[in-house]
Every structure is written in structure tokens, then in C-alpha cells.
Amino acid sequence: AARAQSEAVNQQQQQSGAEGEQPRVEDVDDEEEDADKLLLYGSKQIIRLFVPVSICMLFVVSIISTVSYYSSTQQYLPYTPFHDQTDDPGKIAWQSILNALIILGLVIVMTIVLIVLYKLRCYKVIQGWLYVTSVLILFFFSLIFFGVLLSTLNLAFDYITMAVCVWNFGLVGQVAIHWKGPLLLQQMYLIFISALMALVFIKFLPEWTTWVLLVLISIWDLVAVLCPKGPLRMLVETAQERNESLFPSLIYSTTAAYMSVGTAEQPQQQQQHDGNVSSDLDESGSHQQQHQAAAQVLNGGGGDGGEAGVSGGHDGDGPDAAGAGSNGLRVRNKAFHDESHGVKLGLGDFVFYSILVGRASSAGDWNTTLSCYFAILIGLSLTLLLLAIGRRALPALPISITFGVIFYFLTSLIVSPFVDALTAQQFFI
């Protein structure tokens, strides 16, 4: 189908070329119109990601500021053994660095295990692992969340009703995420579990460990996705070689992930992978899996910029993969009307963005929260821009997290005192 399209376009172009000098302006017109459409299309995709990311962050921030359970850290995970309450900066520094390194090590181990399993085609094992983790989140963490929410709102609720509600909630979530369901429902559940994971992390990680961890994870993301021997890059390439999709449910997708257009290559494999994905997010380890998929943001990452051949294999990328060479823009115009390819962002990115903003808001200063939010949004737009230019798997974390962390510290240390001094006396600038 893709090849046929590009041939038709070739003919079109030859025809228009044969008309002589007059179409020169029209050519410029068309080029500009194409670039215009591209810009509009690109910005549409960016907004499609802004919305869920903002919703997730808003959810996390509102829960942190109202439910005291998540903003108080009394217990710690066994992965962060160093958590003395001390004011000595040196001690805080080495403790948080060690904690973060331990967690990062865990992440790396998990990623490697995942890749080994994937390479050995142990899809059932991966599937089972993802199922178990999503059950954990959708049932147990949700139960705790609802319990704490109810106690904050001071509502009385009996166990039986609670059991029925959580059972239904969790089961529908499982179905929506791992199997078929309305797209909106799936998206809502994915946002919910990302927010829940972020809340859990904010609760259980000591403060400075969070910041060091964020920095280290984004460096790891950068390395893993971009280096030639990086695990996530290998994962993406293996998936591309086998023409398989890459855990569609670990990814937030703005269009239905199960389009069969262009993925007719290996329907059986496709079937398998339909169920394969999930929103695992048990430990930070699995967040990494989403970054590979974070790669497939915007026009389906690897499939794009390829030749007019059938590259298929990626959810809903079929028509888009035809965007090749000189005919690229033209063909893509046709693909625009399809809307069958959406933007995909890994759930791990949601989690880490929300962790950053949630941690920023737990300090109580809303100026900081606001500036971190905008910094992350700008980082996300830049990443998507780079993706549109680079057309390959890109990590979504580094730029946003860098901006976010820089702005957090700058705002909380320098801007906030200034602004507070101004607003206390109602001076406006």
C-alpha cells in the first residue's frame, strides 16, 4: 500500500513538472503548504502529549497537597538504606548518591533481564511479569490510595463496598490496559497508574535521593537509548528487526494501538504482542522499558524516514512509513487524514515528570511547582522537536528533567524569596 501511494505521487509530480515555468510559484506554495501542514501536525502531536502529562502532574500535585499520607516520609524502601535525618550536607550528599546508585543499579539489572528475556523470545515470561506488576498496582496500591483518600475526606466506607469497588476498578483496568477497551479508558488508567507510581516514589524516597535519582536516571536514559551498545537501543532494534511492536501498553498512545494497517507482516506475532504489553511499573527498573517506547514518539520513530517499502510492525505506523525521500511531505499529507498513527510516550516518562513536579510541590511553594511544570513542558516540546528532526528513537527524559531540576533549584533558592518579598507588600512587576 505504501509503495503504491508513492508511485502515484511520483506520477503526479511528473505531471506537474511538465507544465513548465508557471507552477514555480505553486511549487513554492505547495512546499510551503506542506511545511505548514507539517508544523501544524507536529504541534498537534505535541499538544496531544501536553494534555496527559499535565493531567498526570496535576493529579499528583493535588494529591500531595491534600493527602498527608503521601507527603510524609516515615518508612523507606529497602533499596534506600541510607536515610538518616541529618542536616550535615556532606552526609546528605553521600547518602543520597549511594541510595540513587543502588536504585539505578536495580534499574539496570531489570532492563538487562528484560532484554535477555526479549532476545530469547520468552514473551510469556515478560507478559506474566507485566501482568503481575499491573495487578499489584491496580489492586493493592489503588486500595491503599483509596483508603487514604477516604480518610482524608473523612468519609466512612465499609470493607465490603470497598472490596467490590476496588475489584471492579482493578479488573476493568487490567482489561483496558492489556486487552481491548475504549481508548479514553485505557489512557485514563495509564495516567492513573503513572500518577500512583509517582506518589509511591515521592512517599518512599528521601528528598535528596529523589533529586539525585532523577539526574542519574536521565543520564542512564540518554546512554541507554543513544549509545550503540545501549540496552534500550538494542531492544528497539531487535523489535524492528523482528517487525514486532514494542510493548504497546507500556506506552501511552494517543491513538488506538491496535491498528492492523501496515502491520500485516506477521499477524501472529502481532497478536502475541497485543497482550504482551503492560504497564508494569513495579520498581523503577521497569520504567526503562518505557523509554525505548518513549522513542517511538511522533510519527512512529524508527518506521519513519524509512523507505517507501512496507516497514509495518509498529502500531499504526503503516501509512506513515511511506513518508520517504522526496515524496515524503506529499505522501504524508495523505497520511494526515488517516490519523491512524499517534504519538507515544513511555509511562516511565510520565512517572518521572510527575515525581519531579510532585516533589517540587511538596515543599509547599507554588511558584516552584509552576516553574518546574513549565520547564518540563518546554523540555518535552524540545524533545519532540528533536524527534521530528532526528527521526530516531530518542529518550524523553534528559532534556525535561534537566530543565526541571535546574529550574527547581533556581526558583526555590533565588526566585521565590524575591517574589515572596514582592507579593507580601503587593508590589507588582
Confirm or reject binding of residue 153 to other proteins (CB under 8 A): no
How far apart are alpha carbons 122 and 41 in whole angstroms?
38
Q: In the set 1, 4, 47, 227, which binds other proteins (CB under 8 A)?
A: 47
Q: In the set 10, 13, 23, 38, which binds other proteins (CB under 8 A)?
A: 38
Query: What's the longest Cα–Cα distance across the chain?
Result: 80
How far apart are alpha carbons 163 and 244 in whole angstroms?
38
Contacts (CB under 8 A) with other proteins, residues 392-411: 407, 410-411
Q: In residues, how long is the chain?
A: 429
User: Which residues are CB-contacts of 245 (< 8 A; sequence separation ≥ 6)?
Assistant: 239, 257, 263, 270, 273, 277, 313, 314, 315
> Which one of 276-284, 296-304, 343-351, 414-422 is the stretch in contact with other proteins (CB under 8 A)?
414-422
The catalytically annotated residue of 315, 317, 320, 349 is 349
Closest distance of CB 421 from other proteins, Å: 6
C-alpha cell at 344: 507515544
Q: In the set 238, 272, 333, 367, which binds other proteins (CB under 8 A)?
A: 367
Distance of CA 410 to the CA centre of its chain: 26
Q: In the set 33, 163, 182, 390, which binds other proteins (CB under 8 A)?
A: 33
Of 128 and 390, nearer to other proteins (C-beta) is 390
Closest distance of CB 205 from other proteins, Å: 24
Confirm or reject binding of residue 299 to other proteins (CB under 8 A): no
Of 231 and 404, nearer to other proteins (C-beta) is 404
365 among known catalytic residues: no
Q: What are phi and psi of 344, to 5 degrees?
A: -125, 135
Q: In the set 40, 93, 153, 163, which binds other proteins (CB under 8 A)?
A: 40
Closest distance of CB 410 from other proteins, Å: 6
Confirm or reject binding of residue 167 to other proteins (CB under 8 A): no
Q: In the set 371, 383, 400, 412, which binds other proteins (CB under 8 A)?
A: 371
How far apart are alpha carbons 87 and 92 in whole angstroms?
7
Of 67 and 175, nearer to other proteins (C-beta) is 67
Of 93 and 421, nearer to other proteins (C-beta) is 421
Residue with cell 507527603: 71
Q: In the set 15, 21, 25, 158, which binds other proteins (CB under 8 A)?
A: 25
Contacts (CB under 8 A) with other proteins, residues 307-366: 364-366
The catalytically annotated residue of 27, 221, 365, 420 is 221
Element housing 253 (H / E): strand 251-253
How far apart are alpha carbons 302 and 392 in whole angstroms?
5
Confirm or reject binding of residue 112 to other proteins (CB under 8 A): no
Residue 220 · residue 308 · CB < 8 Å: no
How far apart are alpha carbons 244 and 261 in whole angstroms?
13
**Residue 90: is it exposed, middle or buried by C-beta count within 10 angstroms (0-12/13-18/19+)?**
exposed
| Cα distances (angstroms) measured from residue 141 to each of 133, 178, 369 | 11, 18, 25
Closest distance of CB 365 from other proteins, Å: 7
How far apart are alpha carbons 131 and 266 in whole angstroms?
24
Residue 308 · residue 335 · CB < 8 Å: no
Give 415's DSSP letter.
I
349 among known catalytic residues: yes
> Which one of 95-103, 140-148, 378-386, 390-398 is the stretch in contact with other proteins (CB under 8 A)?
378-386
Q: In the set 46, 225, 250, 308, which binds other proteins (CB under 8 A)?
A: 46
C-alpha cell at 194: 503513572
**Positions marked catalytic:** 221, 349
Binding region for other proteins (CB under 8 A): 24-25, 28-29, 31-33, 35-36, 38-40, 43-44, 46-47, 50, 364-367, 370-371, 374-375, 377-378, 381, 385, 389, 407, 410-411, 414-415, 417-423, 425-429
